[in-house]
Structure 1
Amino acid sequence: MSGPDWLEVRQGEAPLVVGMPHTGTEIPPEIEAGLVSPWLARRDADWWIESLYDFASELGATVVRTRISRTVIDANRDPSGASLYPGQATTELCPTTTFDGEPLYRPDAEPDAAEIARRRAAYFQPYHAALTGEIARLRTIHPRVVLYDAHSIRSVIPRLFDGALPNFNIGTNNGATCDPALEAAVAAACEAPGYTQVVNGRFRGGHTTRHYGRPDDGVHAIQMELACRGYMAEPEPPTPQNWPTPLDPARAGPTRAILRGALEACIAFAQATRDPK
């Protein structure tokens, strides 16, 4: 598909869209000029997710991915700026701090309201227009479509959560964004010796899951937040010299097999049931 050069859309025909809003590392020079550290601005990316899910197209899934860094715009935040987790630490639509709370911008260089609006129009809206368009396209083919929002995060970030995050963190906004059968099927696919999981724990689904998940209208959305240790080494603390580490085949292989089962469960769910609408 044609579109901005930072937006990747790989179309498939299966009733599944895989969104990747945080895998990007591209930062326009005019924005990078105001940052404290380009490395710090990229540190919280969802590293190697596009490689970990490289089998998605083989399953017939549609993949929508932005290569723009989440520091420029977080495509999984409410565009109004409202917090998705009131009372808990989080980052903004245009983040001004890292997950650990460090400032991203030099003094007086943080984006103002006009700049946030510009970035929203330039990057947020095209990404979500692509998601909307692909869901609509697949809904003309299938009575049910699943939107699977793919994420990852470092396993230990005390500012955001206590202890080490489970390997697989499934979010459906407490069951509001998809049929219970889909939630159960994805959770079952993630059951494996040596791995941990939680449903609607610290991460219950971001803007993407909550905005598009309309089970009564045939669109079922689910978020998967992976702990990075499941597919890459996690040195502590991460530094410019040691982070990000490469994708580790020994770790990624078993994790990829589990994730393949999760996506297959999404497709099976969508194909097995027919909505009346």
Structure 2
Amino acid sequence: MIEPAIQRVPFVYCSPHSGCAYPASFLAASRLDHTNIRRSEDSFVDELFRSAPESGAPLLRAHFPRAFLDVNREPYELDQRMFREKLPPYVNARSLRVASGLGTVARIVADQEEIYAAPLEVSEVLERVESLYKPFHAELQRRINLTQLRFGRAILIDCHSMPSSVRGQDSRVRPDIVIGDRHGTSCDRALSDAAASAFEDIGFTVSRNRPYAGGFITEHYGRPDAGVHALQIEVNRGLYMNERKFERNAGFAALAGQIARFNAILMEFAASGFGPAALAAE
């Protein structure tokens, strides 16, 4: 967690996929080299949004990588094909995310390459959930609760990045920013509109809910009728990094500054009030 000196705004930022601390045992179990296994990473996204704590909002980030454990999934979205033993009955083995190979413990990286060289032990994966997934979500829920108690509402900004192109598609159709609000269910429409307008005014091309409407975090925490709004932001990696070398490019500093402007605009909008809110504590 990157803490502000004082939380001054009803925002909580989250970067669940920017972690790059790869356990040695995980790398040893993978059939991929250290470069290819990073293809699911939202590299440097926590740094791009570092202005949020400077503006008075906490930023929760995962240090472990998405390929090791994905906290933007249900806790037990697991693929039976990846394991030696039978999975427990409470596991969701039939979700679309599991079918695509991108469950809580992923079978593939973003370009469809298999991660593991051999089947996994169920106990080892369940330990990942207990030791990393549950503490991450406990802290995120705690900060949302504290924010809503203090300000009367909480606004969760879930920060991600997306490849600049998709295999077999024209890269020119890829927008700079994708705003996801689960098709209007995870936050007040006025907040989504304000976010899209802010990015467009800065000069970005923006898409709404296509191709990313928001994952488990946006869906699970977004309760606009109860004063908790969750909005997912996807940033085109081509704007700020060399995607083959996993290095920041010449546009990184400028983009971080533009995201700081976006944060300021959205925080100013939220200060004007919108949608239902609980009575804030004195």
Give the alignment's TM-score, normalised by structure 1.
0.84
**Which of 17, 22, 39 lines up with 2:17 in the alignment?**
22
Per mean C-alpha deviation after superposition, the further-off stretch among 178-187 and 194-203 is 194-203
User: What 5-or-longer segments of structure 1 have no aligned partner?
Assistant: 1-7
Structure 2, unpaired ranges of 5+: 78-91
Deviations 1:226-261 (A, max 9, x none): 110111234xxx3xxxx112x234x23443343223
Return the alpha-carbon distance in structure 2 between the equivalents of residues 153 and 276 of structure 1. Answer: 32
Task: Give the letter aligned to residue 244 of structure 1.
Answer: F
Cα pair distance change 1:174/1:112, threshold 3 Å: farther
Equivalent pairs, count: 257
Q: Provide the rounded CA distance (Å) in 2 between the counterparts of 1:111 and 1:133.
A: 32
Instruction: Write out aligned runs for 1:85-164 (5 A).
Output: 89=100, 91-106=102-117, 108=118, 110-158=119-167, 162-164=169-171
Structure 1 letter corresponding to 2:197: A
Question: Are the equivalent residues in 2 in contact too, given 1:25–1:68 (CA < 8 A)?
Answer: yes
More divergent stretch after superposition (36-45 vs 120-129): 36-45
Q: What is the 5 A alignment of 1:1-277?
A: 8-11=1-4, 12-13=6-7, 14-36=9-31, 37-81=33-77, 89=100, 91-106=102-117, 108=118, 110-158=119-167, 162-164=169-171, 165-192=174-201, 195-234=204-243, 238=244, 243-245=245-247, 247-249=248-250, 251-273=251-273, 275-277=276-278
Q: Deviations 1:171-208 (Å, cap 9, x if unpaired)?
A: 00001000011000000011057632101111000111
**Structure 2 CA distance, aligned partners of 1:194 and 1:137?**
34
| Aligned residue identity for 1:226 | V
Once the two structures are superposed, residues 36-79 of structure 1 have per-residue CA deviations (whole angstroms, 9 ceiling, x without a partner) of 12322223211111221221111101110111011110111122
Paired-residue identity, %: 28
Change (3 A) 1:87 1:128: closer
Mean alpha-carbon deviation: is it higher for 258-267 or for 66-75? 258-267
CA–CA distance in structure 1, aligned partners of residues 191 and 96 of structure 2: 24
Change (3 A) 1:192 1:270: closer
Give the letter for the 1:55 counterpart.
S
Aligned counterparts of 2:96 and 2:155: Cα–Cα separation in 1? 24
Give the Cα–Cα distance (whole angstroms) in 1 for the partners of residues 142 and 24 of structure 2. Answer: 30
CA gap 1:65/1:276 in 2 versus in 1, 3 angstroms: closer
Partner of 1:33, secondary structure, is: helix
Superposition CA RMSD, Å:
2.3
User: 1:19 and 1:193, CA in 2 relative to 1: closer, same or farther beyond 3 A?
Assistant: closer
Tell me the SS of whatever aligns to 2:114. coil
Question: Quick check: which one's helix share is greater?
Answer: 2
CA positional deviation for 1:9: 4.2
What is the TM-score of this pair, normalised by structure 2? 0.83
Residues of 2 paired with 1:99 and 1:193: CA distance?
Answer: 29
